[in-house]
Amino acid sequence: MKMPAIKIKFHRPSRRTVIIIMIMVLAVVASLFIYNFFIKGDDNVDYKVLAEEEVPAELANEILPEYKQLERALACCFNDKIYVIVTRGEKPTGGYDIAIDNMKLLQEDDETTTLVVYTKFTDPQPGEILTQVITYPYEVAETGLKELPNQIEMKVQYDE
């Protein structure tokens, strides 16, 4: 027994239907934008990168010697100010650099805060003439944070 063929006719949506769908999509996108930038709050952290002579003596003499051989980011509190230190570890020559690009504070539902430090690593170019001395690239920034975060994470981007 042969089954009869079913024909389905599709009608092109009217111009009014297309406009209504576009308005709905725009409303959803606008809602997400408003939530992310106005309701959720700005999670960028204000900071100022310090020159070597601006780094507090306690930090330069006690914290930096302990951590400069490691590749990491850490936060510490001195004189009611929160400082962030990013280090690249020991490098065999000059030409290596590190720079803080941005910082964001992420607030979890369980009241845990994570400070994400975005950094740029610069390596020497092949064939470049370099000083043959061991270096420890680092950068110190004074932040606008009021308290230490629970966690700190360093995200690295290599500069070409």
% of the chain surpassing 90 pLDDT: 63
Does residue 123 sit in helix, strand or coil?
coil
* Per-residue confidence (pLDDT) for residue 41, from 0 to 100: 47
Residue 82, Cβ neighbours under 10 Å: how many? Answer: 20
Q: For residue range 60-79, what is the model confidence (pLDDT) as tens digits?
A: 999 999 999 999 999 999 88
Residue 67, Cβ neighbours under 10 Å: how many? Answer: 18
Q: For residue range 15-52, what is the model confidence (pLDDT) as tens digits?
A: 898 899 999 999 998 887 776 655 554 588 999 999 99
The encoded tokens of residue 139 equal 């950068």
**Confidence at 92, pLDDT banded by 50, 70, 90:** very high
The encoded tokens of residue 40 equal 């959720």
Model confidence at 5: pLDDT above 90: no
The encoded tokens of residue 78 equal 């001195």
Q: How far apart are CA 118 and CA 157, in angstroms?
A: 8
* Per-residue confidence (pLDDT) for residue 156, from 0 to 100: 93
